[in-house]
Amino acid sequence: MQKRSRIIIAIGVLLILGTATAQADWFDGFESYPAGGGIHGQGGWAGWNDDPAFDAIISDLQAFTGSQSVAIAGAADIVQPFSGYNSGVWYLTTWMLIPNDFSGETYFLVLNTYAPNGAQNWSVQIRFTGGTITTDTAGGETMPYVTGQWSELQLVIDLQSDLQTFYYNGTMLYQASWSEGVSGGGAVEIACVDLYANNATPVYYDEMSLAPATVSVESKSLSQVKNLFR
């Protein structure tokens, strides 16, 4: 193969790798906000219906990484809106800590349609209470949660197939339709994530991200890919 052709192919491979290894579209480790203060109006976060009464507090008592997380307690009902997510496959991932002395019922929610004081439609409504996780999708699946340690929540949102799959610490809790998830008759879009305390005692979230599913070429190193063309 001529040198010039190799260079052109190499540039093409780099472009492919650049796409395949794209970083998260959105990420929050809650390190950039003052501890003890609210998060409403910062980093894209806003109280439910843009109401600061539903603010959540940045905590330096707990952290999965760094020294801070967001505490979801009391009146907290905090939303991170997304826009333009209407195709592809996405991972919405976060780490969550439920203290040993947690009491009440706290919620992890994702909507397919969200306008403050406007159209709203739920795809995901997951409740944590009394040691049990329950999904409010049609199957109503349950599993136990752990307390006193960080656990991974991962939602795989396949907008190509209108399908969602939720994993807790790597174990699948349920798979369900995306647009018909909870409310029914929703959009095939990702509109927002909502952390809702429902007057419960604090739980903590850290390292939240929304990232595209990667293609298989990502698993190959650059040298391996180059070898494909030798």
By CB under 5 A, name the binding residues for Ca ion: 29-30, 63, 66, 68, 206
Distances in Å between the alpha carbon of 41 and those of 14, 53, 199?
A: 38, 12, 21
In 3D space, the residue among 94, 98, 53 whose CA is nearest the CA of residue 71 turns out to be 98
**Which residue, 62 or 113, has its beta carbon nearer to Ca ion?**
62
**Which residue, 29 or 186, has its beta carbon nearer to Ca ion?**
29
CB of 213 to Ca ion, least distance (A): 24
**Which residue, 17 or 61, has its beta carbon nearer to Ca ion?**
61
CB of 69 to Ca ion, least distance (A): 5
CB of 32 to Ca ion, least distance (A): 10
Residue nearest to Ca ion (CB): 66
CB of 169 to Ca ion, least distance (A): 19
**Which residue, 31 or 51, has its beta carbon nearer to Ca ion?**
31
d(CA 111, CA 9): 42
CB of 64 to Ca ion, least distance (A): 6
**DSSP, residue by residue, 66-100:** TT-EEEE-TT-EEEEEEEEE-SSEEEEEEEEE--T
- Give bridge partners of residue 206 from the DSSP assignment: 95
The token pair at 226 is: 């180059």
Distances in Å between the alpha carbon of 192 and those of 38, 47, 103, 176?
A: 19, 12, 26, 18
**Which residue, 63 or 76, has its beta carbon nearer to Ca ion?**
63
